Structure 1
């Protein structure tokens, strides 16, 4: 696969950048202006397939998830503005470090949401749908949470549901090396680590059926994960990346058959 942007590539040319990126707000543009050169110095990123990302229209960028910095690497590498939902706690920190993280999140286009089940999950879904209805790009991790062992876990069906419901194309992404650049639990990134971001060809999942069909959601999810696997080359875990259950009820829920969203 031929890279569209080499590690030491200059700032994006106008013709390689989506119109919405050129019209973005001052905070985002300033953040990108600072982050892009900094990322090239720290991570020496190798970006492939930028031309696979549609410049206009609603898209879902669906990526594997290895590190906190995935949510920085993808927006910086993408040729258009990519919105992703981030824990509201990232925006509420105090002191120098807290404010720095909050400003960093805003600079890369993050939107704060309160995580959890019930209404919080529905609010997050509504926010993502609203962005797609406006013709924007959102980034999601089908695995649900970061992989702590480097393997690629089974995808949850929420991404497919959103794509089938809105008609948005899904751009699969394989991120490589971010777990070495900033391992889970690390407070600071490691200098000199090489990071690769691969954008795959966009997927139209409409042929799987309506969003109301569980079979359609599962089939579309499996297609997304197969595309991500082809880009990342990770070992397949073959199971869901479950958060450890606390309490007897939650442990029972995890062993019962149910559709992961």
Structure 2
């Protein structure tokens, strides 16, 4: 009697995907849904509530810095786990996911272009979503005015980029391909997951990030490189976090 080893391994891989996601962005998606429900039932319009990112964790500056750095470090542990699991299955994650520095021009060029193509329409979507009342007031950064605020915000942008693009694009797509899922299903899963953990910001953020997820998933499936996506995401988040901190808020009142 022959044993279909590939068929036997599918439940194991499916279980692995669930565990990795529940330890990382799947967990964030659950909390985002709960946060959105809380906002919708708070007794005031969604547009009059705030979604605050990068908040201070302590009024004591150096204790706050410690918390910020620990948060960034531990947020990246699921990335290490995902790469380890792929390496365990001899999938050579650096090459499979395109996590190499062999094509810096390609990565930086496409990353910058993707950031521009996503970021500019994204600002318009934020504006429209606020007008329609389907988005909370997004505060990208709320750290104390300390010397380390900008470096920490940049590190936070890099952490977000690495975590999201490696897990939601590289790892998830690689595993779903291995399970034999169709390209349409793979793109939909990646895009919906990306949109879902942004729901705490409102429905506009879900739509915008889901569209971004479609673009990024298709790009990865075409190029087999996640590095340009990390570059693009880092640029977007750095511009949002640092820009919000440095630009006078009166200039941003139109949002």
Smaller-chain TM-score range? under 0.3
Q: Which has the higher strand share?
A: 1
- Higher-RCO chain (CA-CA 8 Å, sequence separation at least 6): 2
TM-score, L = length of structure 1:
0.26
Q: Which has the higher helix share?
A: 2
For the pair shown, the structure with the greater C-alpha radius of gyration is 2
TM-score, L = length of structure 2:
0.27
